[in-house]
Chain A
Amino acid sequence: MKCDRCGREATIEEVTKVGQTYVYKHLCESCAAGEGLSTSGSQPTTTTLVTVKARAAAQTLACPNCGLSFAGFRETGRLGCPACYDAFEDRLGPMIERAQEGGTHHVGKTPKRLLASVEGAGPERRRAIERVLGESKQRLEKLEQLGRQLQSALAGERFEQAAIIRDEMRRLREGTCEPEATPETGAGEGGETRHGDH
């Protein structure tokens, strides 16, 4: 990739979120420094720097279990195995969030046997199970409650109240240990995975 300003090899990609789309700028180290951009230090929250090297690494990303590459997933929209979700989590997270209209974490049903095995498990096994289960139980209960309030607000056409409840639900969904989502570098390339019912 060539630097947008001087034509030398670019090593830095600047991604700026403008409205709903991402704008890309490619720069070499010296031009980036000239623009006051660097990969270290704090940047305005709307701008994220991605080194081109890191981006290339992401493109050759593959699942260690089934060997599916991230690019392969982008082609078909299908993952290869449950471990793909871990392998691609950083890049998949923001994509899923968009496809799921803001949904970032599971709330709802949990496999019963998994839940039951928490009771009576030794401390180590218990920690292992809780890692899989996460904190979904508590969030679930609160979200269930808010969900009911939201539906009744919508049914009564109390839209302002509904908006407040929705914000609270969003905070609750996001207010966990999740790091801030990095912009999906393929945004706007038609990489959405939605394709209806199967």
Chain B
Amino acid sequence: MGITDPTRPGGRPNPLAKLEVERTPWLQQAEASDVVVSSRVRLARNLAGFRFVNRAEHDDRTAVLELLRDRLDRAELTPGVPAQWLDIHTLDRLDRDLLVERHLISPQHARGMNSGSARTDPRAVVVSLPDEGVSVMVNEEDHLRLQSLRPGLALERALTDVDSVDDGIEQSVDYAYSARFGYLTACPTNVGTGIRFSVMLHLPALRMLGEVEKVKRAAGDMSLAVRGFWGEGSEAEGDFYQLSNQTTLGRTERVMLDGLQRTIVPRVIDFERRARERLLSQRRLLLEDTVYRSLGILQQARRMTTGEAMQRLSELRLGGTLGLIRTPLLETVSQLLMLIHPAHLQRVTGRSLAQDERRAERASILRARLADVSVAP
């Protein structure tokens, strides 16, 4: 891959050349994506006979990395697509950030275990590109973190994908496993199935009507966690909320999946859709003012923070689902949710940008991409 760009010192080749910066697969339109942005399933696994990552010496972590490189480099995480192995410790800061924004690695994986160890901790991610449907983090908190991330409501598909990759890996390695505790993980909160299901929900109408708390309470009653766009420790940004299971022991993967997709998820979808209808029929002026005000700002602003852009795009997305705006499609608005983030912005413009420049560039990209949007007649 001889592709170079000016943000890379010395014009080095781009290890992420196959990643389509402009298009995030999990932000495409899919089933129920008016409310459910994406579905994710992840499995935590460790190798038998090795210490967990946090207690392993550098050499042991390198041994695990090399063993898994041997098994996973070019493995077909998606049938017919050889996956790409990326050594995180050799990537530029910007590429690491790009992978975090993309939800392909965790912020912790980008940073490394200790401060200052970002360029030394031996760790990797294996990604099937360009579809990005399945990825595997190596030497994060556990030796292996398998993930499937799909657009819309697709937990079933994500589980099937991640399950078969898990079977594939298990052909050639021994997992740490016990009869009582199941798959053994560094943190006992993940022990058992090692599974986490999450759905990313877009709940702008419930937020406008002050009813998000009800969703949080219902989720709490079912022992589910509600987190923001960036997962752990993040606040809801732009009305995006992630709903996920907190327990991993004592219930099968299937029972957990059913619990999410037969009860709470359809209820929240229904709840949000009704709230949108209520806004249309009873609070139309508030709704139109919110959507069109955001449209005006997105089309005219000269500087914008990430947080504001997320909020404005969220409101535009709401307008899009309710037919208040004409073209572009919801898809364009959804894709912008990723492009406005710092690493993406710098990759798209091909320049490294200071914070102030990013705000100007962000506003400029939004103006350009949303120039054709008009108010529905």
List residues of A whose CB falls within 8 A of some B CB. 65-66, 68, 76-82, 85-86, 89, 92, 95-96, 99-114, 131-136, 140, 143-144, 147-148, 150-152, 154-155, 173, 193-198
Q: Any chain A CB within 8 A of the CB of B248?
A: yes
- What A residues does B252 contact at CB under 8 A? 107-109, 140, 143-144, 147
A193-B189, A196-B225 are known contacts. Are A133 and B52 too (CB-CB below 8 A)? no
B120 within 8 A of A: no
Among B106, B186, B198, B232, which residue has the most Cβ atoms of chain A within 10 A? B186
* Contact of B253 (CB < 8 Å), options: A89, A108, A132, A133: A108
* Docked-complex contact B180 and A151, CB < 8 angstroms: no
B255 interfacial contact with A, CB 8 Å: yes
Are B189 and A106 touching (Cβ within 8 A)?
Answer: no
| Known A-B contacts A78-B186, A78-B187, A81-B51; A103 and B249 likewise in contact (beta carbons under 8 Å) | yes
Known: A80-B54, A143-B255. 4 other contacts (CB 8 A): A65-B51, A107-B250, A194-B189, A197-B198
Contact (A96, B55) CB under 8 Å given A107-B250, A197-B227: no
**Nearest 9 A/B pairs, CB to CB:** A103-B250, A106-B182, A134-B179, A147-B255, A103-B249, A80-B55, A82-B176, A108-B252, A197-B232
With A68-B55, A131-B179 as contacts: A101 and B231 at CB distance below 8 Å: no
Stretch touching chain A among B67-75, B93-101, B258-266, B327-335: B258-266
CB <8 Å contact, A193 and B188 = yes
From known contacts A108-B253, A197-B227, infer whether A96 and B191 are also in contact, taking CB-CB under 8 Å.
yes
Q: Which residues of A contact B262 (CB under 8 A)?
A: 151-152, 155
- Within the assembled complex, what's the spacing in Å between the Cα atoms of A77 and B246? 16
Closest to A102 in B: B250
What number of residue pairs across chains A and B have CB atoms under 8 A from each other?
177
CB distance from A166 to the nearest CB of B (A): 11
Residues of B within 8 A of A (CB): 46, 48-52, 54-55, 106, 108, 140-141, 163, 166-167, 170-171, 174-184, 186-193, 195-196, 198, 223, 225, 227, 231-233, 244, 246-255, 258-259, 262-263
Q: Does A103 lie within 8 Å of B263, measured CB to CB?
A: no
Given contacts A80-B52, A103-B247, A147-B258, contact A195 B253 (CB under 8 A): no
Which one of A100, A106, A111 lies within 8 Å of B170 (CB-CB)?
A111
9 contacts between A and B (CB under 8 A): A77-B188, A106-B249, A113-B171, A113-B174, A132-B177, A194-B246, A195-B187, A196-B225, A198-B187
Q: Tell me the bound Cα distance from A109 to B178 in angstroms.
A: 12
A residues near B191, Cβ cutoff 8 Å: 85, 96, 100, 106
Which residues of A have CB within 8 Å of B46? 82
Contacts of A103 in B (CB 8 A): 192, 247-251
Assess whether A66 is in contact with B51, with CB atoms less than 8 Å apart. yes
- Tell me the nearest residue of chain A to B46, going by C-beta: A82
Of the candidates B198, B225, B254, B259, which one forms a contact with A144 in the assembled complex, judged by CB atoms under 8 Å apart?
A: B254
For B54, list chain A residues within 8 Å (CB).
76, 78, 80
Q: Complex formed: what's the CA distance from A44 to B76 in Å?
A: 59
A198–B140 CB distance below 8 A:
yes
Question: Given A113-B170, A136-B179, A173 and B258 touching (CB < 8 A)?
Answer: no
By a CB distance below 8 angstroms, the chain A residues around B255 are 143-144, 147-148, 150-151
- A101 lies within 8 A of B247 (CB): yes
Of listed B163, B174, B227, B250, residue having the most chain A CB within 10 A: B250
Residues of B within 8 A of A109 (CB): 163, 166, 182-183, 193, 252-253
Inter-chain contact A198/B108, CB cutoff 8 Å: yes
- Pairwise interchain contact A105-B180, C-beta atoms closer than 8 A: yes
User: Is the pair B227, A104 in contact by a Cβ cutoff of 8 Å?
Assistant: no
Contact A101 to B223, CB < 8 A, known contacts A82-B46, A148-B258, A151-B262: yes
Q: A108 to B192, alpha carbons, bound, how many Å?
A: 8
Contacts of A198 in B (CB 8 A): 106, 108, 140-141, 187, 190, 232
Residues of B within 8 A of A108 (CB): 182, 192-193, 195, 251-254
Instruction: Report which of A106, A147, A193, A197 forms a contact with B180, defined as CB distance below 8 A.
Output: A106
The residues of A that contact B259 with a CB separation of less than 8 Å are 147, 151, 154
> In the complex, what distance in Å separates the CA atom of A104 from the CA atom of B163?
23
Q: Which residues of A contact B189 (CB under 8 A)?
A: 99-100, 193-195
Assembled-state Cα–Cα distance A197/B230 (Å): 11
A93 and chain B: residue at smallest CB distance? B180
Verify B141–A81 contact, CB threshold 8 A: no
Min CB distance B86 to A, Å, is 20
In the bound complex, do residue B193 and residue A106 qualify as a contact, i.e. CB atoms below 8 Å apart? yes
* Cα–Cα distance between A46 and B80 once the two chains are bound (Å): 60
Give the residues in chain B near A77, CB-CB below 8 Å.
187-188
**B231 engages A197 (CB within 8 Å):** yes
Bound complex: CA A105 to CA B233 (Å): 29
Taking the closest CB of chain A, its distance from the CB of B296, in whole angstroms, is 37
